Structure 1
Amino acid sequence: IAPAGWRDDPAVRAAVEERVAAATAAGMKPLVERYRYRWTPGCPLPERTGRLTYRPEPDDEVILDVLRRVHSATLDAHARKAIEGSGGLEAAAREELEFFHWCPSPREWWRLAYTPDGEVAGIQVPAHNPSGPCVGFIGVVPEARGHGYGYDLLVECTRFLVEQGAEFVAGATDQGNAPMAAAFARAGYPVIQEWVHLA
């Protein structure tokens, strides 16, 4: 864990690089660098775009199908690592679903997003983890990409959590996931930390 913009401070950069080098020498390999975000009431609350409709989906098999579709073209390094393992796409989707169930927030909060034509555009999971309210998951199916729907899903997730009384909302994405990083920035989420993940 490093402060936002850690590469800009020579002393902090040296300290982070020293820790990464020690972990690498111990046999670990860098997997991905991530941005950690935190929305607070001091940030603007983004307006819903109205382009998608959101409905709860009680059937885990339907959720799994959407997760498989999302992960079939994912930019997320952890999901890609799971896909490259022996379980492939199925294992990656099931790991995600297990995480959703692990979160102590209600199952009823999970939402599938639909286009005006009634097609599934993606999934958003407002959640609570042990640290508090968070963006549990945002995913757009491949055939709905290119329309900026990740932003719509993030806004819906944020506003839903605020409507449930959240005083902050945490989120994270890989630095290489440019569309999601852009959605967080557009939604007014400041980067509060950067994570260097090793595996």
Structure 2
Amino acid sequence: MTAAVSQHPLGLTVRPITGPDEVELFNQLPYAFNHEIADDLRTGRRRPEWLWVALHEGRTVARAGWWCRLGDERPFLLDVLDCAEGHEAAGRRLLGTALGAVVAEGAKPPQYVRLVPGDWRADPAVRPGIDALIALVEGQGATPFVERLRFQWNPGTPLAAPDPRLAFRAVAGREELVGLMTEVLDGTLDAHSLRDLMTMTPRQAAEEQYQDEMEKYSTPRDWWRVAVLPDGEPVGFVIAAKNSYHAIIAYIGIRRAHRGHGYIDALLAEGTRILATAGVPRIRATTDLGNTPMAAAFARAGYVNVEREIHYDWT
């Protein structure tokens, strides 16, 4: 992968930023993550060679930015893509050039993720801009993968009373959690998990998710809770954590034999209670649009659907 400068005959310059001193140049186009870019560069979640701009007369008219998890060497998501109205040709040139430089030859590009309002399809003030971005990634071979709901719980929202049928204890360790994660993949509605199961066994998928996600959380492990029946049999688990940006419900799952009994509400309430007791300013959570049982559970627990994510994948 090499960074290059592309000069268009009409005066369009396409290049990566040179470093932290050009964050303001990158942020000339508005988006939800602008306030995080400088810190992401400092911590290594972004790199200058992953943050590309298309400049016309010194002004940023399109941009693309990739993000990675802490410790990763390769970009994990294309999560910033913006194009000023009337500069769609610049956006096409930018994305094609940047993909060629950021993604290794023959490698699959990282998934594209965009935050959008919940009613984006029906909002004439919003939809044309999002459709233009979708056209950019589709023009480079991406296809729709999944749409997800983003929820938020705010302090002061009432917490459900504990479910008398269940008790909670801390996860015993890595082996127990991977085992439970393996079990709850049976009948999963999560699109990313279903994709993993096309090429991996449930155990392999659980191992990979633990290593790539759970293992990276620095918050207390006793926030990871297992719900058990009076005889000690595990019903499911909930992972409350903090990522680099927010307190989150990272994972919640119920073993197949115990689904349909309303235990999901108790698990979600336990995870929410742990984070609320820690005094976090808000709690975030996401689930697929098609996972209606989980979305309904968030709504019952007082979580508000604040926006959506659209995910595009390269096959």
The 8 Å contact of residues 151 and 180 in structure 1, kept in 2 or not, is answered as no
- Kindly indicate whether residue 208 of structure 2 is the aligned counterpart of residue 91 of structure 1: no
Gapped regions of structure 1 (runs ≥ 5): none
- Kindly indicate whether residue 200 of structure 2 is the aligned counterpart of residue 81 of structure 1: no
Partner of 1:64: 178
Aligned length: 198
For residue 91 of structure 1, what is the amino acid of its counterpart? Q
> In structure 2, how many angstroms separate the alpha carbons of the residues matched to 1:198 and 1:42?
36
1:131 to 220, 228, 245: 245
Which piece of structure 1 moves more, 38-47 or 177-186? 38-47
> In structure 2, how many angstroms separate the alpha carbons of the residues matched to 1:117 and 1:7?
49
4+ residue stretches of structure 1 with deviation over 6 A?
A: none
Q: Give SS of 1:20's match.
A: helix
The 8 Å contact of residues 124 and 154 in structure 1, kept in 2 or not, is answered as yes
The 8 Å contact of residues 150 and 308 in structure 2, kept in 1 or not, is answered as yes
For residue 104 of structure 1, what is the amino acid of its counterpart? S
For residue 285 of structure 2, what is the amino acid of its counterpart? G
Identity of aligned residues (%): 38
Partner of 2:265: 151
Partner of 1:119: 233
- Following superposition, the deviation at residue 107 of structure 1 comes to 1.9
Q: TM-score when scaled to structure 1? A: 0.92
> In structure 2, how many angstroms separate the alpha carbons of the residues matched to 1:152 and 1:189?
14
For residue 121 of structure 2, what is the amino acid of its counterpart? R
Gapped regions of structure 2 (runs ≥ 5): 1-114
The 8 Å contact of residues 150 and 179 in structure 1, kept in 2 or not, is answered as no
Q: Give SS of 1:10's match.
A: coil
Partner of 1:161: 275
- Superposed CA deviations along residues 119-142 of structure 1, whole A, max 9, x for unmatched, are 211110110000121101100111
Larger gyration radius, structure 1 or structure 2: 2
Which piece of structure 1 moves more, 137-146 or 21-30? 21-30
The 8 Å contact of residues 155 and 276 in structure 2, kept in 1 or not, is answered as no
Partner of 1:184: 298
Q: 1:29 to 1:166 in 2, by over 3 A?
A: same
- Following superposition, the deviation at residue 48 of structure 1 comes to 2.7
- Following superposition, the deviation at residue 42 of structure 1 comes to 4.7
- Following superposition, the deviation at residue 35 of structure 1 comes to 0.5
> In structure 2, how many angstroms separate the alpha carbons of the residues matched to 1:195 and 1:60?
30
Q: TM-score when scaled to structure 2? A: 0.60
Q: 1:12 to 1:106 in 2, by over 3 A?
A: same
Q: 1:55 to 1:20 in 2, by over 3 A?
A: same
The 8 Å contact of residues 46 and 188 in structure 1, kept in 2 or not, is answered as no
The 8 Å contact of residues 173 and 180 in structure 1, kept in 2 or not, is answered as yes
